[in-house]
Amino acid sequence: MPRGRPPARTRTDVVAAAVAVADTEGLDALTMRRLATELGAGVMSLYTYVRDKDELVDHMIEHVSGYDGPPAPTLLHLAGWQRDLMLRHPWLPAALPGRGLSGPNAIGYLERGLAALAGTRLSGPAKLEVLALLTGFVAGYVNHELAQARAGRTAGEHVAAQVDRLQEAVASGAYPRLAEVLAEGGSGPPPAFPVIAERMIASLTG
Domain containing 179 equals: 155-188
CB 92 within 8 A of CB 86: yes
Q: What is the pLDDT of residue 206?
A: 83
Alpha helices by DSSP H, 5-153: 11-25, 32-39, 53-64, 75-88, 92-95, 104-116, 124-151
Q: What is the pLDDT of residue 186?
A: 56
Q: Are residues 172 and 200 in the same domain?
A: no
Q: Are residues 75 and 147 in the same domain?
A: yes
At 72-104, the pLDDT tens digits run 999 999 999 999 999 999 999 999 988 877 899
Q: Are residues 205 and 118 in the same domain?
A: yes
Q: What is the mean pLDDT of the chain?
A: 90
Per the model's pLDDT, the better-predicted residue between 203 and 8 turns out to be: 203
Q: Are residues 17 and 110 in the same domain?
A: no
Q: Are residues 73 and 144 in the same domain?
A: yes
Ramachandran assignment for 4, one of left (phi > 0), alpha (psi -120 to 50 degrees), beta (any other): left
Q: Are residues 205 and 124 in the same domain?
A: yes
Type of residue numbered 34: R
Q: Are residues 102 and 200 in the same domain?
A: yes
Tell me the mean pLDDT in the region 21-27: 97
Type of residue numbered 119: G
Q: What is the pLDDT of residue 188?
A: 61
Q: Are residues 135 and 203 in the same domain?
A: yes
At 168-203, the pLDDT tens digits run 888 888 888 888 888 876 556 678 999 999 999 999
CB 135 within 8 A of CB 143: no
Lowest mean pLDDT among 18-22, 25-29, 80-84, 156-160: 156-160
At 127-142, the pLDDT tens digits run 999 999 999 999 999 9
Domain count, the chain: 3
**Domain containing residue 18: CATH number:** 1.10.10.60
